[in-house]
Structure formats: structure tokens, C-alpha cells
């Protein structure tokens, strides 16, 4: 059983990886585990948006099920 967390842009830089795999849990707990493994991520998360299986996530008490993907999306700059 696994959930994939994918990190983009500044979140990827903070973690040094593009993804990690964790056991299913509520979204907030998954993000806490990611910060425990990659403390620099804490400085990035407040600016991030989150997608759970490609749908915007606003309730961090949402249970993230086996096989799901949680994307961590910092603001992107573009031109």
C-alpha cells in the first residue's frame, strides 16, 4: 500500500527529490512526514497548492487512499 507525493519547482529543490512514497493516511499527516524527512520543505509548504489525484485539495483531513498521488505545487513564475 502506498501513496505517492510528487514535488515540483521549489518543493523539489527543498526535498532534493521529485517524489516520495508513504503509507496511506490523511493529507496533513503525509505532509508532516514529508517535512520530517526533508525539513527545508517546511519553508515552502505555506505557499503551495495541492492536488489529490489531479483535483485541488483544500481539506487536509482528507484521507489519501492507496494508489493516490498528492502533488505539492509551489507558485510558478513564467514568462
Residue 79 CB coordination number (10 Å) = 2
Give dist(CA 23, CA 45) in Å, integer. 20
Q: What is the pLDDT of residues 47-63, one digit of tens each?
A: 999 999 999 999 999 99
List the chain pLDDT tens, one digit each, 79 residues: 899 999 999 999 999 999 999 999 999 999 999 999 999 999 999 999 999 999 999 999 999 999 999 999 998 765 4
Give whole-number Cα distances, 71 to 17, 21, 42, 48, 79, in Å. Answer: 13, 12, 15, 10, 23
Amino acid at each position: 500500500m502506498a501513496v505517492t507525493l510528487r514535488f515540483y519547482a521549489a518543493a523539489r529543490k527543498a526535498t532534493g527529490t521529485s517524489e516520495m512514497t508513504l503509507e496511506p493516511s490523511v493529507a496533513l499527516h503525509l505532509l508532516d512526514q514529508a517535512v520530517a524527512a526533508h525539513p527545508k520543505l517546511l519553508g515552502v509548504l505555506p505557499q503551495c497548492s495541492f492536488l489529490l489525484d489531479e483535483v485541488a485539495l483544500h481539506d487536509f483531513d482528507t484521507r489519501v487512499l492507496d494508489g493516490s498521488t498528492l502533488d505539492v505545487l509551489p507558485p510558478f513564475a513564467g514568462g
